[in-house]
Amino acid sequence: MSSLDLEARVALVTGAASGIGCGIATVLAREGATLVLSDLDLERARAVADELGATAMHHDVTSWSSCQEVVERTLETHGRIDILVNNAGVSRSVPFHELDEAEWDRVNDVNAKGVFMTTRAVVPHMMARRSGSIISISSMVGKEAIPLFVHYSASKFAVIGLTQGLAKELAPYNVRVNAVCPGVVRTPLWEPLLEQLSANKGITRDEAWQEFVDGIPLARPQEPEDIGEAVAFLASDRARNMTGQGINVTGGMQLH
Ligand SMILES: NC(=O)c1ccc[n+]([C@@H]2O[C@H](COP(=O)([O-])OP(=O)(O)OC[C@H]3O[C@@H](n4cnc5c(N)ncnc54)[C@H](O)[C@@H]3O)[C@@H](O)[C@H]2O)c1
C-alpha cells in the first residue's frame, strides 16, 4: 500500500528519458501510478519505461500534431489521463548581447509553448471528467532571474504565468494546476551549461558548478527524485486544496 494512493491514476510525463523526468517517473511508479513516458528520444524513454514497467512514446512537445497523438494514444491505451507532468525542457547560457532569434525561439518553443501545447491537448479530457492534476516543471529562475540565462528565465516565468491563469480557469472543473521550481539538479542538462558558463565567466567547469552549490543553504544539490516527491504530492488528493502554486525545491535557495 503506497502512502499517496496513486494506484488507480494514469500519469503522462514528458521529457522522461533523462534527469528530472526520470526521477519523477521513478517516484510516481513507486507510488503505484500507471505511467506513459514521452520524449523526443524514444530509445532512451524505452529504456526508462522498461525498468519501471511503463509505456514509452515518441513526443516532440513543439509539435501540435505530436502532442495530440501522444494524448490520443494514451487515452486509447489507458482510458484516461489523471496526471500530466510537463517536464521536457532545454537550456543554454548565452550573454544577452549574443542572443539571437533562433536561440530565443528554440528555448521558448520547448519550455513555454511545449507546456501550452501538451496541456492544451490534455485539458478538454480533464474538463469533461471534472478531474485532473497538471504539474509543470518551471525553475527557481522562473521566479527570480539570473544573468546569462535571460531567455531561459523568460521561458520559465511563462510557465508560472500559465500555471496561475489556468489554475483559476480550471478550478470550476476540479482540475488543479501547479508548478514545481527546482534549483540545482546535476543532470545531463548541466554539462553543456557548465562548458558555456566556464567560457562566459573565464572560470573552470568545477568552479562554475561550485558557485551554484555554494549558494544553496542546505549545502547540497537536489536529486531528480526530490523533484519527483513534490510532483507526487501535488498529483495526489493530499494536495486537493492546492492550485496555482509554484513549489520551490531548492534547498532554501529560493524563498518566494
Ligand atoms: N537540472 C536542473 O538543475 C534544473 C533546474 C530547474 C529546472 N529544470 C527543468 O527541469 C526539466 C528537466 O530538466 P533536466 O535537468 O532533467 O534535463 P535533461 O536534459 O536531463 O532532460 C530533458 C529531457 O527533455 C527531452 N526533450 C527536450 N526537448 C524535447 C522536446 N521538444 N519534446 C520532448 N522532449 C524533449 C530531452 O530529450 C531530455 O530527455 C526541464 O524543464 C528543466 O528546464 C532543471
Q: What is the pLDDT of residues 61-76, one digit of tens each?
A: 999 999 999 999 999 9
CA atoms of 200 and 98, how far apart (whole Å)? 11
Is residue 23, in this structure, part of any structural domain at all? yes
Query: 242 burial class (0-12, 13-18, 19+ CB within 10 angstroms)?
Result: middle
Tell me the average pLDDT across 14-31.
98
Residue-range definition of the domain harbouring residue 52: 10-186+223-248
- 3 located within any domain: no
The answer to whether residue 56 sits within a structural domain is yes
pLDDT band of 2, cuts 50, 70, 90: low
Side chain identity at residue 89, one-letter code:
G
Which of 36, 121, 135, 26 has the alpha carbon at shortest distance from 87? 135
On average, the pLDDT of the chain sits at 97
Residue-level pLDDT at 1: 46
- 9: closest CA among 37, 35, 39, 38? 35
How many domains, in total, are found in the chain? 1
**Residues 225-252 pLDDT 10s:** 999 999 999 999 999 999 999 999 999 9
DSSP E strands: which ranges in the chain? Answer: 10-14, 34-39, 55-58, 83-86, 132-137, 175-182, 246-249
**% residues pLDDT > 90 (the chain):** 96
| CATH number of 16's domain | 3.40.50.720
Grid cell digits, residue 201: 565567466
> Grid cell 550573454 — which residue?
95
Residue 193 is assigned to a structural domain of this protein: no
Quick check: is 198 in a domain? no
Q: Among 152, 189, 220, 223, name the best residue to mutate to test ligand 1's pocket (greatest count of ligand atoms within 8 A of Cβ).
A: 189
What type of residue is 93?
S
Distance 172 CA to ligand 1 centre (A): 31
Evaluate whether residue 254 is within a structural domain: no
Residue 212 inside a domain? The answer is no
Across 134-138, 152-156, 172-176, 204-208, least confident range: 204-208
Residue 210 counted as domain residue: no
Does residue 173 have an active-site annotation? Answer: no
Residue range 86-134, pLDDT digits in tens: 999 999 999 999 999 999 999 999 999 999 999 999 999 999 999 999 9
Backbone angles phi, psi at 18, to 5 degrees: -150, 160
> What pLDDT is stored for residue 197 in this prediction?
87
- This prediction's pTM: 0.98
At 134 the pLDDT is: 99
Atom of ligand 1 nearest to the CA of 60: 32
